[in-house]
Structure 1
Amino acid sequence: MRTAIVYASVHHGNTEKLVKRIAEECQVDLIDAVKQPDADLSSYDIIGFASGIYFSKFHQSILGFAEKNLPDDKKIFLICTYGGNANYKSIEQILDKKHSKVIGKFGCKGYDTFGPFKLVGGIAKGHPDEEDIKNAVKFARGL
């Protein structure tokens, strides 16, 4: 089964740490939505969307990518890194329109210095750590 992860990792590389390890260990193609806003996903059996959470949403590049490039009726998994809380609603709204089925979700803390967190030196320092990365790989293998 061909699998791809479309990701955006903008501030501290939190999400990129997860998806790169998953790609290495699980033979997954990576597509950086910031650098490559267009891609043909029709040949993939399973597609992941991975992002940090920004103002309770997936990164805008991921949302735009999914809206534009995701074919209907695909199996989807979601990965997020966050300083506050995991929130999948923004991407799930697009997936519903595309009649796609979410087959799994994974989230973990990620170092966050956005907005007011910058004043206190950030939160979730050191995350994702090695344990978080191992759990992400375990999640991907379980799909």
Structure 2
Amino acid sequence: MKTAIVYYSQHHGNTKKLLDAIAIVDDVTLIDVTKHTAYDLNEFNLIGFASGIYFQKFSKKVLDFAKNNLPFNKKVFFIYTCGIKFPSYTVAIRAVVKEKNADIVGEYGCPGFDTFGPFKIVGGIRKGRPNENDIAKAVQFFRGILK
């Protein structure tokens, strides 16, 4: 299954750590939204959107990319890293891909090192995350949706 993962991973590279591990074991095309504002995704059967969490949602760059580039009727999944875990981080990205009649096949989220706002004062939270276990679970999640 031809797969692309569109991502934003800037501050600590938390999300990119997960994607790099996935790319080592499976053939995926990684698309960095800081380098590409447009990309033809028609050739891909499966499209992932990955981001750190900013104000309880995916990066605006990922949301805008999905709005402007996601073809209709694709299989889609989400991967994210966050400082604090809440159950509603994919609400905005889900709304975007539902407008494209996408079939959402899963999501994976895990803790990531976070130094935003007041967390910077204390040296950040979730140091060392994502760890090897988080990364292994991301790879396992991805392999599971390929089946």
TM-score computed with the length of structure 1 as normaliser: 0.97
Residue among 106, 114, 123 paired with 1:112: 114
Name the residue aligned to 1:7. 7
Name the residue aligned to 1:129. 131
Paired with 2:120 and 2:109, the residues of 1 have a C-alpha distance of 22
C-alpha deviations, 1:50-76, integer Å up to 9, x for none? 000000010111001000000011100
Name the residue aligned to 1:66. 66
- 1:84: how far off? 1.0
Paired with 1:39 and 1:23, the residues of 2 have a C-alpha distance of 19
- 1:35: how far off? 1.1
1:16 equivalenced with 2:16 (yes/no): yes
**Alignment map for 1:18-97 (pairs within 5 Å):** 18-86=18-86, 87-97=89-99
Unaligned ranges ≥5, structure 1? none
Name the residue aligned to 1:142. 144
Paired with 2:41 and 2:29, the residues of 1 have a C-alpha distance of 11
C-alpha deviations, 1:100-120, integer Å up to 9, x for none? 111011000000001111111
- 1:99: how far off? 0.8
Structure 1: 4+ residue segments shifted above 6 A: none
Asked whether the equivalents of residues 26 and 140 of structure 1 are also in contact (C-alpha less than 8 Å), the reply is: no
Q: Provide the aligned C-alpha RMSD in A.
A: 0.8
Identity score, percent: 52
Task: Provide the aligned length of Structure 1 versus Structure 2.
Answer: 143
Q: What letter corresponds to residue 74 of structure 2 in structure 1?
A: K
Paired with 2:98 and 2:122, the residues of 1 have a C-alpha distance of 38
Q: What letter corresponds to residue 121 of structure 2 in structure 1?
A: L
